[in-house]
Amino acid sequence: MQKISKYLRFLSFIPFTYAADDTIINLKPEDGLASDLTELTIPRIVSGLIKFAIIIAALVFFFMLVVGGIRWIVSGGDKAQTEAARNQVTHALIGLVIVFAAWAIAALIGAFFSVDIFNLTIPII
């Protein structure tokens, strides 16, 4: 009975493979995607670096938080190791607050001066 059940489950997925739409073969990139890669300007580089720095900082925060949590769990009740792990988690959270505050200040300054700091453009005179 189990063999028949497995065989029927396998056969039930076959129609889905033939039901796939063939228009997916003719994929074309959107109009704006290819041009962004060829137009490297200083504002785009600075904007990209700001975004990249925020992403890297968030990844470092997550890594430090996970490592600190693992160290806290593995400390086994040792007072010094528990304190070190707790400090690492605290420092990771402080770092996240600093990164978020920097992003918020940059966005606030951009809104105040009507400049999108995360998508910089130099005005043409």
Stated pTM of the model:
0.57
CB atoms within 10 A of CB 38: 6
- Residue 103 has a pLDDT of 84
The total of structural domains in the chain comes to 1
pLDDT of residue 90: 95
Q: Which domain holds residue 48?
A: 35-119
Q: Is residue 17 part of a domain?
A: no
Please indicate, yes or no, if residue 55 is contained in any of the structural domains.
yes
The answer to whether position 71 is within a domain reads yes
What's the confidence (pLDDT) of residue 49?
83
Task: Report yes or no on 107 lying in a domain.
Answer: yes
In a domain, 41, yes or no: yes
Q: CA 37 → CA 22, 33, 84, distances in Å? A: 29, 7, 45
Q: What does the pLDDT look like over 19-28, one tens digit per residue? A: 656 555 666 6
What lies within 8 Å, CB to CB, of 64 at 6+ separation is 88, 89, 91, 92, 95
Q: Report if residue 25 sits inside a domain.
A: no
pLDDT digits (tens, 9 = 90+) for 40-92: 777 777 777 888 888 899 899 999 999 999 999 998 888 999 999 999 999 99
